[in-house]
Structure 1
Amino acid sequence: MFSEEELLEECARGEERAWEELHKRYAGYVRRMVSWRKWGFSPSEVEEIVQEVFTDLIKGISQFRGQSTLATFVSRVTQNNCVSALRRAFAQKRGKEVTKVSLDEPDEEGKAFHIPPALDPPPEEVVLRREEAAELHRA
């Protein structure tokens, strides 16, 4: 069993046993927070957010400075993930979902994506013009 300080040190080093211990200690806590009925998440959303929380903990554990308890840090990461999930859901409802566009395949109407030619001269031409102007200036 790790102390909180040892757990943090070992997690920061990437020790698998420490991450298993962290998950064991906090998985229920995180799941209860995410399952809070006022968030309104479905069971599948809860599981997805719990996974995101632990992914973010893995990414961010090295930034934990010990100014609060580990439980407070886990709580903050969990709350941030819940708020982010709500924002994504509201954005989708408002129709602000990011649409991916294939540059290779035609759209539903059979139209292919077309990139218009640049209006500026190519970079090589710009360099040649500058060199010519510099040469004329020297003459």
Structure 2
Amino acid sequence: MTDSSPVIDLGVAPDRIDATDLLDDIEFLVARVRAIGSLSARHALEPHGLRVRSYAVLSLVCGAVSPTQRDVAEFLFLDPSQVVAVVDELQTLGYVERAQDPRDRRANIIRGTETGQAAYAKAKKSVIATRDETILKNLSQEERQSLTQLLLKVAF
């Protein structure tokens, strides 16, 4: 993290509460990791003028696939109206553009613009650096890869 980046406080050390059943509860642990990850991502994205949700949408639309708004909503488990609001915001920034889906004239696909691609690349570097220095700092590269594979298996 840069010197201006805040330190993320991970809270009470597990040895002080090791008698709680929550430490064996997968849903609680995943929720805690998500909360810590979202907090660190918020701090990393703030200088880029992005929020976690807008970063997630930008990440999807700057990839090789041009998803529809519905695809984005389903993948991120968001209400379609939330996706419309985020896409509107990103479009105002010049980061995305809507185009008619050639497979379905009623649907819009979302594409990252050149400006959006550049903004995403910078934001991604910040998110990765912050994540590596906070939430994943105690994991080896091999453990990080294993964690990713396990989460993919559970998520999909």
Same fold, TM-score > 0.5, yes or no: no
**Smaller-chain TM-score bracket:** under 0.3
More strand, by proportion: 2
Structure of greater relative contact order (alpha carbons < 8 Å, 6+ residues apart): 2
User: What TM-score, normalized by structure 2, do the two folds share?
Assistant: 0.21
Larger Rg over CA atoms = 1
User: What TM-score, normalized by structure 1, do the two folds share?
Assistant: 0.23
